Amino acid sequence: MVSMKKHSEMTRRQFVTASAAGLALGGLAHGAVAMQAEAAPLNDQPARGPSRVIIDTDPGVDDALALLLAMRSPELKIEGITAVAGNVPLELTLPNALRMVEIAGRNDIPVAAGAKRPLLRRLVTATYAHGENGLGGAVFPEPKRTPVDEPAAAFIRQTVRKYPGEITLLTIGPLTNIAAALSSDAELARMVRRLVMMGGSLSGGNITPAAEFNVYVDPEAARIVFQSGIPITMVGLDVTRKTSLTDEHVRVLEAEQNPVSQAAAKIARNAINHNRDRGFLVGPNMHDSLAVAGFLDPAILEFQDYYVDVETTGELTAGETLGYSPTVGDLRRRPGTEKEAATNMPIRGSAPTLASTRTSPVLRENFVPNAKVAVGVNSTRFFDLLIGRLSGKH
């Protein structure tokens, strides 16, 4: 088993101190967030070459396929992979990440061990969906590679500082590692080019009626990230629910005789069978792969600007992502009045209780988007890219 001696953890006191700095960053940055988000397209690859990325992950069936997709994509310069506890404990997500690197033949990519648990909560896993080993029961040899010495938060911090303004964070698990890195370095957020996350939902959850799993596991970390000022792209359940893996997809992968295609087919076949055994009518959704594919090919997804915040205190709704917009839902305005509406739309918290003397908290004086949220998906184009890259046909 891979050594787990070094990983990124924060004491409660460190977290409280760091969170205060992180929230201050969010408050200072909120006036600039909209300009950042609108100025940076989803895949703003520099003309000189591939996009530098760090992938933060908790493999996980769909994480494993997303990692293989990323490592087969010449558009990406993967500076590192950081593992975090989520779908299964870190003792499994870390070796699973190392396995995918070996299968892809990408021993040039460093892998770092991250947080064993959320910032303030006990770990809740998704073994019910991903199997006890995280790969749907698909078995692979123990990895020969070992992680780098730096814990994930330090690795992220060092790499972003090495390439300021160039690193995109592709996050496909709980955001614990990212929040730890941001909270330990007050200048780091402004050095990150963009954060593309699989997580959240504006249309209900998948682990509770309110919350998507990645945000549910560590809502405090997610809130630090959303309030950091980093331009965020949120690829959540609103679109990933439309990406069900099928038997035909798996047959294409099984037909190609290369290590990546065969490994992807093995994981995918086990995942489909696991879903059927649990009574589901469709195969598993490719949540994480869609976030990576949407970065590779922005035409796969359609976006709208939102101010997104995370519920952290609700007894039944912790981990819910709330999207505010003056142009969507009951708050939408007629064309041509959106700018005026935005300046007159405070972002409010919950109403005060009878025992309280304060008024409803105003979190933001007016609407300033902090995220581009995926609201539409071309599933055919997505699977053409995913299966084509994994099979080696494209």
| Residues identified as active-site | 287
With the C-alpha atoms ordered 297, 332, 348, 311, is the resulting torsion angle positive or negative?
Answer: negative
CA distance 99 to 276: 26
Q: Which of 290, 377, 362, 288 is nearest to 324 (CA)?
A: 362
CA distance 63 to 291: 10
Contacts of 354 (CB under 8 A, 6+ apart): none
Asked if residues 7 and 115 have their Cβ atoms less than 8 Å apart, the reply is yes
* Buried-exposed string 209-221: b where 16+ CB fall within 10 A, e elsewhere: ebbbbbbbbbbbb
CA distance 90 to 125: 10
CA distance 83 to 203: 28
